[in-house]
Homo-oligomer: A and B are copies of this chain.
Amino acid sequence: MDKQNKAKDELKFLGKKIVNKINKKENPFIEFRVRGLSNVSYDKTTKKLTLGSNLAKRHFFNVAHSKKFLQTVEVASICKNLLEEGKHASLRDVFYMAKRTIPNTKVNLVDEQKETDKSIEDLELITNLSREQMYVNANKMGSVVGKVKITDRGDKINWAKLGSGGWAIPSNVEDIKFDEVKAKYIIYMEKQAIWERLHEDKVWEKLNCILVTSQGQTTRGIRRLLQRLYEEHKLPIYILTDFDPWGFYIYSVIKYGSISLAHMSDKMAIPGVKFLGIMAEDIEKYGLNKHLIKLNDKDVSRLKQMVKYEWFEHNKEWQKQFKMMKQLGSKAEIQALSARGISFISEKYLPEKIKKKEFID
């Protein structure tokens, strides 16, 4: 409830500043930091992608600004209402709530969702609140299992007692209370099928870890869940993805933050995560050579981009991975380990890598 009031106050403060300008008959404006690569840099100390201090102003009496100005104010007002009602909306909901014709004109306040999406990102910058704190939720997706007990919306939930399904991770994990965390570390994987494999083999019980998955891209809800467990309970996090540029980038986003959400790095990036696999050395070692898949053009160009990223540029281990992938001209999937037996990953690959601490930082 405190957090809710704090967020509401931030939005009210924004409104008051605008009203004050109007009362003084001055041109109202909103000020926030410029987003985009030109204002993004890699901070070597915090090891996060961070947004620079270049500022942009948006004035009401400026033909190029006034529509965006209105949109931002409208979305701020929608968020304030959400906070007052104590209800969460999706990005799509916010779009429909903002979508209407400006009175006495034929102009719609917004025509496409990307306009309200942008306004919400702007509001994150202006207010320093995450969109989750403004009660706008990301996509819900993913499951978790492990020796952890939580309280959520008044329900006591034991992640270790949820059968084959596990707990469905909500889009917003800000209000979850961790009651007991017995697990010692987290393995995050990009594939649901691997999660089901490891869960059936009771890997979380044998290794006393938490297994987390989404499907493909890591949602904001999951990133925040990982970060909270990392920061509040000091749990190491290991990332398990395919050996391909997209898998590497999943790791990169979780660890350093993403370019488009650089302003959110403090709330989202987890500098301590480590990459567990699949790495180039595994291919020889675990006999995956026969199961390599040729890199396609998209893979190759993505790989070239990754090599040059500031945060990978001076990292010898990662440069070695990129180089070996280029030399092989191939990628490999986690599931290729199944060729060695369905539970090879649970009984051999994971325990061995974790015991020997074969991680990339």
Beta-carbon contact of B141 and A170 below 8 Å = no
Residue of B nearest to A154 (CB): B163
- Which of B90, B140, B195, B338 is within 8 Å of A97, CB to CB? B338
Residue of B nearest to A201 (CB): B87
Docked pose: A338 CA to B291 CA in angstroms: 48
Beta-carbon contact of B196 and A88 below 8 Å = yes
Docked pose: A141 CA to B216 CA in angstroms: 12
Beta-carbon contact of B163 and A157 below 8 Å = yes
Given A139-B193, A193-B137, A290-B100, CB of A90 within 8 Å of CB of B170: no
Chain A, residues 150-176, CB within 8 Å of chain B (1/0): the string is: 111111110001111111111110001
Beta-carbon contact of B157 and A193 below 8 Å = no
Beta-carbon contact of A141 and B215 below 8 Å = yes
Quickly give the copy total for this chain: 2
* Any B CB within 8 A of the CB of A319: no
Docked pose: A260 CA to B341 CA in angstroms: 30
Residue of B nearest to A202 (CB): B153
Residue of B nearest to A339 (CB): B96
- What's the interface size class on A, roughly? 35 or more
Q: Is the interface of A mostly helix, strand, loop or mixed?
A: mixed
Highest count of chain B CB atoms <10 Å: which of A101, A156, A163, A201: A163
Docked pose: A342 CA to B150 CA in angstroms: 28
Beta-carbon contact of B96 and A338 below 8 Å = yes
Beta-carbon contact of A93 and B335 below 8 Å = yes
Kindly provide the distance from the CB of A114 to the nearest chain B CB, expressed in whole angstroms. Answer: 15
Highest count of chain B CB atoms <10 Å: which of A90, A100, A154, A156: A90
* Any B CB within 8 A of the CB of A343: yes
Given A93-B342, A96-B338, CB of A161 within 8 Å of CB of B155: yes
Beta-carbon contact of B172 and A162 below 8 Å = no
Beta-carbon contact of A93 and B140 below 8 Å = no
Given A193-B139, A196-B88, A200-B87, CB of A170 within 8 Å of CB of B161: no
Residue of B nearest to A101 (CB): B290
* Any B CB within 8 A of the CB of A99: yes
Beta-carbon contact of A162 and B155 below 8 Å = yes
Beta-carbon contact of B167 and A167 below 8 Å = yes
Kindly provide the distance from the CB of A60 to the nearest chain B CB, expressed in whole angstroms. Answer: 25
Q: Which residues of B contact A139 (CB under 8 A)?
A: 192-193, 215
Kindly provide the distance from the CB of A14 to the nearest chain B CB, expressed in whole angstroms. Answer: 21
Additional A-B contacts beyond A96-B291, A155-B163, A157-B163 (5; CB < 8 A): A93-B193, A96-B333, A139-B192, A140-B195, A165-B168
- A-B CB contact pairs (8 Å), 25 listed: A85-B343, A87-B200, A87-B343, A90-B196, A93-B197, A93-B335, A96-B291, A99-B290, A99-B339, A100-B339, A137-B196, A139-B192, A140-B193, A140-B196, A142-B168, A152-B162, A152-B165, A154-B163, A157-B161, A163-B176, A164-B170, A165-B168, A165-B169, A167-B167, A171-B196
Q: Which residues of chain A have a CB within 8 Å of any CB of chain B?
A: 82, 85, 87-90, 92-93, 95-97, 99-101, 137, 139-143, 150-157, 161-172, 176, 192-193, 195-197, 200-201, 215, 290-291, 333, 335-339, 342-343
A-B pairs, 4 with minimum CB distance: A152-B163, A90-B193, A168-B168, A143-B168
